[in-house]
Amino acid sequence: MNHQPGLFAVGTRDHYHLEFDLRPDVDRAALATALAGVHEARGLGSVNLVVGFGAGTWARFGDEQPDGLRPFDPIEGTDGHGVPATQHDVWVFAHGTGRDTVLHAARAIVAAMAPVATVAVDRPSFMYLDSRDLTGFIDGTANPGLDEAPEVALIPEGSPCAGGTFVIAMTWVHDLASFDALPVAEQERVFGRSKPDSVEMDDATKPANAHIARVEIDDDDGEELEIFRRSTPWGTASEHGLYFVAFSADLRRYDLMLTRMFGLGDDGVRDRLTDFSTPVTASYYFAPSADALEALIGSA
Ligand code: HEM
């Protein structure tokens, strides 16, 4: 099954994430008509699109169901840190290069969805410098390359919904005043990598609560469980953060990483990054293969 091409179209600098709540009583034909309109927005300024559905929505309108899809559950971590569950029904990721064309496409997507849904999250985001987070650290160093990304992100052939992917979408709000007040050596201990060039600390130096020490996880066979990240910074001078988005062949990997980030793993250690950034939205979506999406659109 063909995946949605927008998943792996990398290098685009202007991103836009829209999360929608479906109106009650929407039927398959009305949703399909709206999605056909969303698809047409691709032509506006050569924008790439990825469309995903919440578990409840895909259970209603998708033909085949992927193993393990469910809504995001809230996380109550240690020291009062946690993640709220703000699950919505449909997620559309538009990305290209040019804030103007991406906004133009986003407005067309909202107009196409208006008969069936209301906008719940409206989040333009952007690539910052050489792919850095607003903390100044390079984000994506350990991301799988494009040769490996499909294996990491796509449900394999032979499984239900092959070519689809599980998506996590979260809005994080940064406290940059506190983070910037740390000496650079201390900032590096928050992530476990050097600031200018993203060199990983060796195991003897890397703190147990460094971000990468929390999210580097292995399965029972010692194989690293990877995800493919496409997060980008968002915001203004006064309010800003990261829209965290990733694709995985298996939803469980996100649960394991978040458990360890919020101090609920076996060692009880909490990610120090959560002292400087707070998640305010979190949802799981399923982005079906291009064929499965077209089958839904074709039922209009
Ligand atoms: C404020 C939120 C976050 C920020 C600013 C952030 C930033 C970073 C940075 C700077 C790195 C190191 C460079 C790299 O390999 O990309 C990194 C690595 C990573 N992050 Fe995050 N991240 C955030 C949230 C998350 C979340 C919620 C997850 C998982 C659910 C996650 C999963 C990962 C993974 C898997 C790696 C690679 C680890 C490795 O194999 O070395 N991150 N992140």
pLDDT tens per residue, range 234-273 = 999 999 999 999 999 999 999 999 999 999 999 999 999 9
Q: Cα(23) to centroid of ligand 1, in Å? A: 34
CA-closest residue to ligand 1 atom 43: 139
Q: Cα(61) to centroid of ligand 1, in Å? A: 33
For residue 43, pLDDT beyond 80: no
The predicted model scores a pTM of 0.98
For the segment 4-11, the average pLDDT, to the nearest whole number, is: 97
139 is an active site residue: yes
Listed in order, strand segments (DSSP E) in 149-275 are 165-174, 228-229, 232-235, 240-248
Domain ranges (residues) in the chain: 5-297
The amino acid occupying position 165 is T
Nearest one of 243, 45, 211, 39 to 133, comparing CA atoms: 243
**Cα 147 to Cα 228: distance, rounded to the nearest angstrom:** 12
Helices (H), 169-251: 176-181, 184-191, 211-215
Predicted local distance difference test score (pLDDT) of residue 299 = 84
Q: Ligand 1 atom closest to Cα of 192?
A: 12
Q: Ligand 1 atom closest to Cα of 227?
A: 35
For residue 1, pLDDT beyond 80: no
Q: Using a pLDDT cut of 70, give the percent of the chain over it.
A: 100
Catalytic residue (one of 14, 133, 139, 271): 139
For the segment 197-210, the average pLDDT, to the nearest whole number, is: 97
Written as six digits, the tokens of 172 are 């994080």
